[in-house]
Chains A and B, each alone.
Chain A
């Protein structure tokens, strides 16, 4: 139904080629995975298909007829719909209004029973029937908002659905529901383009896969002709060494951080833990388990109660400045809002937290700033020619590396990371894991949260599981297994048992 012919697109007056001569075609009812590292051109391709950007050259044909998309509206009229990585949910509207937002099917007078019923049916179909139609979308979790976006696709008459990492923030049961919905859409004859960094999903849901690398089309093949290792090789363009290097640093013994009775109202209840220096601790929990808020509270960003001491000194909670003074670095799950200064240069971003060290009586020295930034970029592996680029133009992986650079070269402290590899491609992921290890070797205490089980088991020295804001268990070293963690985070603590549903193939493959 769709064919894309020799599309090229470049940015910055032709200096950066995002797509070069990319062609692909899609049949009705086909689920196509598009894989590639960040910067491979996936998001540019999606933006062109959705009418957000226009290609420099090349054509798009829908059902054999040429189509030109000048605005998102044109693409929608052609039957294209998208769930973007950044959700398009309006927080001040109800769930119902969000589901029907922008739909052509809604008449001018839209407060009618049938639209409520259809919206309810769509939610039930993806196992989200418990979400109230009249609830404000702003009161829901990210995972629930994702379900609303998918419900929006279901009520629409879109023929081509583009899903850009739809499972990045979801729990396993939610993912299973969404997969069921995608299969139902396929059965109705709709086509799907599925973009994901979780390669296991390619094999469990997709019919065929297209690999992009550096803006070029590498290969398109049925998933049956391919396995995981081969796919990674195709994406990276080189063979793939083991991403996870698992050697806990045993040289440190003292506690980096001890926490007693930490509570975040409504989200975390009486959490106590002691974490050693030089280890990578992972707090595992589903979306909404409060894991993110444990870290946010320690960083002084969520209002909390409890006793916390850092390296033996008690620390007052509820102030980000106090947490920083105790040498706590925080890397947010929401990079765009709480990480980078998107409109500022890479240079300004990487030194943002250490300006007082780079000046003389409050006057900032430009040359020292520049030299410091250069050496930091070299340490985190970002090309130093990007020093003067706006950081918003870098790929997610490179942005994240710059944020790690802020903690680099400072006295060992605590590094808190919420979902440090969200929106980060395979290649940059390996670099980031390596960076985490080097922080461990310097004597930092590292705490991260993740909803990706494979990642947790791969990188963590210590795992703490949470269920609905309550501590469940602590695992260390060889005792860390995917099965136990999955059981802990999906079941109330007293009845923890292996989950009945065989969903390990989804995230664990």
Chain B
């Protein structure tokens, strides 16, 4: 049965996205710098980079945890893929994603079974991954010789898309379907909304925790491997500054740091908003500070609107106005 309330979680992310597009279009006026097909391609390219991380980190935020280690995993996975995928890019991808999955499982296991805060555990993971990537590469940037792969990944498909952006779009669609249609989504929201309640209702909390961290690790690794291939090189640093945009995208998409809210599609919308802003402001010739200031203000506004105290104060103001 179709249910209007199912739309509620998407209202705000969609509104923010539309507002951003509208504002940029207005600023652009009739110059045609913003609404062009090359912009759509670059938006989707950025979407393909931030999307997997945002989805992984966003899912850990939904269950009221946080996966910092993705920042290290992206870099390490890139190095692993480039090092092992010399002859067969599939092998490199599998090695990278396998590593991400296993380390995610391990971190999730530690967090769930030893009941440790995820920030601490994944901060440890982040540092270990960074260190390992330095060791793997000897602190140098390493080249990937199979330029054909890089070319393939950079190719336009159907005008706007590329292989990485198509992959992540499919992943988002599949995850959103599973999340919306099956018990899994409800159980994850329950674990984030009230851990104790979920446990006493008989939900397998530990399994979900471990699974989510494995999911997040695997996605980050996939993202790192694809990035390494498409840039035809990998370096221990440089790729690790994805955490902040990913978290921002998740919050823009309706995920709350206090857990229990947010949907995969919302995260996709949030990522899209962020990508549109970045590419749009670039196209308009505004500097990257403008992007950061703009995103910062939007996040602040969302945080304020979310607060219950703010709404209570609004109610009081309304009451006072009616009196006078």
Please tell me if the beta carbons of B182 and A101 are within 8 angstroms of each other in the complex: no
Partner of A90, one of B1, B5, B197, B202: B197
What are the interface flags for B189-215 relative to A under an 8 Å C-beta threshold, 1 for contact and 0 otherwise?
110111011111111100000000000
Please tell me if the beta carbons of A102 and B182 are within 8 angstroms of each other in the complex: no
- Residues of B with C-beta under 8 A to A88: 194, 196-201
* Chain A min CB distance to B195 (Å): 9
Please tell me if the beta carbons of B203 and A111 are within 8 angstroms of each other in the complex: no
Please tell me if the beta carbons of A89 and B194 are within 8 angstroms of each other in the complex: yes
What are the interface flags for A55-83 relative to B under an 8 Å C-beta threshold, 1 for contact and 0 otherwise?
00000000000000000110010000010
A479 within 8 A of B: no
Partner of A92, one of B199, B201, B261, B319: B261
Please tell me if the beta carbons of A265 and B182 are within 8 angstroms of each other in the complex: no
Partner of B200, one of A72, A94, A109, A110: A72
What are the interface flags for B161-197 relative to A under an 8 Å C-beta threshold, 1 for contact and 0 otherwise?
0000000000000000000111110110110111011
- Residues of B with C-beta under 8 A to A73: 202, 204
Beta-carbon contacts under 8 Å, B203-237 to A:
203-204
- B interface: dominant SS: helix
- Residues of B with C-beta under 8 A to A419: none
Please tell me if the beta carbons of A303 and B5 are within 8 angstroms of each other in the complex: no
Please tell me if the beta carbons of B200 and A266 are within 8 angstroms of each other in the complex: no
Please tell me if the beta carbons of A91 and B202 are within 8 angstroms of each other in the complex: no
B36 within 8 A of A: no
A238 within 8 A of B: no
Partner of A97, one of B190, B196, B202: B190
Known A-B contacts A109-B181, A110-B186; the reply to A93 vs B193 at CB < 8 A is yes
Known A-B contacts A88-B197, A134-B3, A303-B313; the reply to A102 vs B320 at CB < 8 A is no
Please measure, in the bound complex, the distance between the C-alpha atom of A107 and the C-alpha atom of B190, giving whole angstroms: 17
Please tell me if the beta carbons of B194 and A101 are within 8 angstroms of each other in the complex: no
Please tell me if the beta carbons of A303 and B312 are within 8 angstroms of each other in the complex: yes
B18 within 8 A of A: no
A338 within 8 A of B: no
* Chain B min CB distance to A243 (Å): 33
B191 nearest CB neighbor, chain A only: A90
Partner of B5, one of A102, A110, A134: A134
Please measure, in the bound complex, the distance between the C-alpha atom of A494 and the C-alpha atom of B200, giving whole angstroms: 44
Please measure, in the bound complex, the distance between the C-alpha atom of A363 and the C-alpha atom of B227, giving whole angstroms: 57
A400 within 8 A of B: no
What are the interface flags for A222-248 relative to B under an 8 Å C-beta threshold, 1 for contact and 0 otherwise?
000000000000000000000000000
Please measure, in the bound complex, the distance between the C-alpha atom of A113 and the C-alpha atom of B1, giving whole angstroms: 7
Please measure, in the bound complex, the distance between the C-alpha atom of A161 and the C-alpha atom of B5, giving whole angstroms: 32
Known A-B contacts A101-B198, A109-B181, A110-B186; the reply to A91 vs B193 at CB < 8 A is yes
Please tell me if the beta carbons of B202 and A76 are within 8 angstroms of each other in the complex: yes
- Residues of B with C-beta under 8 A to A134: 3, 5
Please tell me if the beta carbons of B182 and A109 are within 8 angstroms of each other in the complex: yes
Please tell me if the beta carbons of A84 and B312 are within 8 angstroms of each other in the complex: no
Beta-carbon contacts under 8 Å, A286-308 to B:
303-305
A87 within 8 A of B: yes
B72 within 8 A of A: no
What are the interface flags for A195-227 relative to B under an 8 Å C-beta threshold, 1 for contact and 0 otherwise?
000000000000000000000000000000000
Known A-B contacts A72-B202, A92-B189, A265-B316; the reply to A108 vs B183 at CB < 8 A is yes
A134 nearest CB neighbor, chain B only: B5
Please measure, in the bound complex, the distance between the C-alpha atom of A375 and the C-alpha atom of B184, giving whole angstroms: 54
B87 within 8 A of A: no
B317 nearest CB neighbor, chain A only: A265
A86 within 8 A of B: yes
- Residues of A with C-beta under 8 A to B58: none
- Residues of B with C-beta under 8 A to A84: 200
What are the interface flags for B295-324 relative to A under an 8 Å C-beta threshold, 1 for contact and 0 otherwise?
000000000000001001101101110000
* Chain A min CB distance to B203 (Å): 5
Please tell me if the beta carbons of B183 and A110 are within 8 angstroms of each other in the complex: yes
Please measure, in the bound complex, the distance between the C-alpha atom of A104 and the C-alpha atom of B202, giving whole angstroms: 9
Known A-B contacts A76-B202, A92-B193; the reply to A303 vs B316 at CB < 8 A is yes
Please tell me if the beta carbons of A93 and B190 are within 8 angstroms of each other in the complex: yes
A116 within 8 A of B: yes
Partner of A102, one of B201, B313, B315: B201
- Residues of B with C-beta under 8 A to A503: none
A321 within 8 A of B: no
B260 within 8 A of A: yes
A260 within 8 A of B: no
A323 within 8 A of B: no
Q: List 14 A-B contacts (CB under 8 A).
A: A52-B200, A76-B202, A82-B200, A88-B194, A88-B198, A90-B190, A90-B194, A92-B259, A93-B190, A108-B183, A110-B181, A111-B1, A263-B319, A266-B315
Excluding A76-B202, A103-B202, A134-B5, 12 further A-B contacts by CB distance (< 8 Å) are: A72-B202, A87-B197, A88-B196, A92-B194, A93-B189, A101-B187, A101-B197, A101-B201, A104-B202, A110-B181, A265-B316, A265-B318
